[in-house]
Structure 1
Amino acid sequence: MTELVKLTLHDDWAEIRLNRPERHNALVPEVLDDLHRAIEAAKAAAPRALVLTGEGRSFSTGGDVGAFLEAASDPEQLRAYSERVVGGLHDALMKLLAFPAPVIARVNGPVTGGSVGFVLASDMVIMSQRAFVQPYYGVVGFGPDGGWTALLPEKIRTARALEVQYLNTRLSAEECVSLGLASRVVETEELDTGIQEWLGGIREMNASTLAATRANVWDAPRRAQVKARLDQEKARFLERISAPDTREGMQRFTNRH
């Protein structure tokens, strides 16, 4: 059976890789369950840094719209499925924000929908030139999740965050750097070199100091604020998911993709 999330423990760092490339690493409950286990196992290994990435051509395209549509024939099933996906994603983001070592996103390809939360929960982000960020919420009819309203405005300022979502703007890797969503853009084949350069710099620092720095930034009060806003995102996602126009949007989206 294929591992949907791969955890690789290196000498002093850990890598978590989403491994559903045939579906562009789209998020389903089984992926999120494996992701939770991987984060906990990585934390137990006490690495100097945690790297998040995706297998194949995409980093992750967020929730699997086709899977939501399959559940849409039964309103109760759809709500339970949505609760599991969005709740599982948000719980994973909270675990990442509390992770006791630097978190690095290795964005190997497109990252859309709620999976942008993995970028927002990371401290350092390196992107392939072919990667991009895009919301798609207004196209499908979903409520934004994964931190699009809870974390993104703080990163790129409120007006820009709203504009991106109102117009379904596709942000190139270069634009992500200019907005502060990413630190570096490289050719795809240079991603690992860039990661190793960062890891080399981290190794020269006192690990306890870096852990204290991250804990100060993502302290309990700040994480509580984020959780409250993520809970708000989930509540509005659940309101939108059963709306007739959302079902129509899912049908149009899946027919085009």
Structure 2
Amino acid sequence: GAGRAFSAGQDLRERLADDAPPLDEELGLRYNPIIRAIREAPQPVLAAVNGVAAGAGASLAFACDLRIASEAASFVLAFGRIGLVPDSGATWTLPRLVGAARAADMAFLGESVSASEARAMGLVSRVVAPNALMSEAADVAARIAALAPGATTMTKRLLGLAFDHPLQAALAAEAEAQGIAGSDPDHREGLAAFMEKRTPRFSPD
């Protein structure tokens, strides 16, 4: 979130070096592990995007569970302009976020998508002034952190299943997770706090 850009992606000058490693090797060693870590983290991961998020930098933002953008933010997948394909999970995450048509538009044309356009297409959930970005991100993170940790972790897992499993599997997974959450002491604490009109005191995970 700090600085003029979220991430401009890889320094393309590195690719011109005679000893530049093969791209598949570089993805396997440097980029893909980060994307997997974000997706597999038990806690929701939030991206605060200020300025340009390009290439693998955009892919990194797409992999996060929530994206908050400043009014100065933009997203661009310009891989095709240099004869490459979107990577770092973008071909998996982007269609799930904005739909096949808009994902194809971004992937093929490589045009910059502004913060307001990103919000309209569902790519980001909030757009704020640049000087309010980090405080807004911190507020959202604090609100999530104040929730029951077990339920939050299971919610992330269930949302991750949404586009890869049929409805019947989603219903079964929800029921299983709800059974676990419903027997957790945090559930009773949440109910008591709601009835007593106070802030719940959830146990740390």
TM range (shorter): 0.7 to 0.9
Q: Report the alpha carbon displacement of residue 154 of structure 1 after superposing the two structures with TM.
A: 1.6
Paired AA for residue 90 in structure 1: N
Q: In the alignment, is residue 113 of structure 1 matched against residue 60 of structure 2?
A: no
Q: In the alignment, is residue 64 of structure 1 matched against residue 11 of structure 2?
A: yes
- 2 CA distance for matches of 1:85 and 1:60? 17
Instruction: Describe the superposition over 1:47-87 as per-residue Cα deviations: whole angstroms up to 9, x where unpaired.
Output: xxxxxx4x4211111121111112xx3xxx43x35234322
Aligned residues: 162
Q: In the alignment, is residue 168 of structure 1 matched against residue 110 of structure 2?
A: yes
Question: Could you tell me which residue of structure 2 aligns to residue 45 of structure 1?
Answer: none
Paired AA for residue 152 in structure 2: L
Q: In the alignment, is residue 98 of structure 1 matched against residue 58 of structure 2?
A: no
The 4+ residue runs of structure 1 with deviation greater than 4 A are none
- 2 CA distance for matches of 1:135 and 1:95? 22
**TM-score, normalised relative to structure 1:** 0.58
Alpha-carbon RMSD across the aligned residues, in angstroms, is 1.9
Q: In the alignment, is residue 157 of structure 1 matched against residue 99 of structure 2?
A: yes
Q: In the alignment, is residue 147 of structure 1 matched against residue 89 of structure 2?
A: yes
Contact 2:78 2:109 in 1 (8 A): no
Paired AA for residue 32 in structure 2: H
- 2 CA distance for matches of 1:148 and 1:196? 26
Aligned ranges 1:43-58 → 2 under 5 Å: 53=1, 55-58=2-5
1:125 corresponds, among 40, 64, 67, to 67
Question: Could you tell me which residue of structure 1 aligns to residue 26 of structure 2?
Answer: 85
Paired AA for residue 123 in structure 1: D
**TM-score, normalised relative to structure 2:** 0.72
Determine what percentage of the aligned residue pairs are the same residue: 28
Gaps of 5+ in 2: 165-205
Question: Could you tell me which residue of structure 2 aligns to residue 247 of structure 1?
Answer: none
Question: Could you tell me which residue of structure 1 aligns to residue 181 of structure 2?
Answer: none
* SS of residue paired to 2:90: coil
Aligned ranges 1:26-41 → 2 under 5 Å: none
- 2 CA distance for matches of 1:139 and 1:119? 21
- 1 CA distance for matches of 2:160 and 2:96? 14
Radius of gyration: which is bigger? Answer: 2
Contact 2:27 2:88 in 1 (8 A): yes
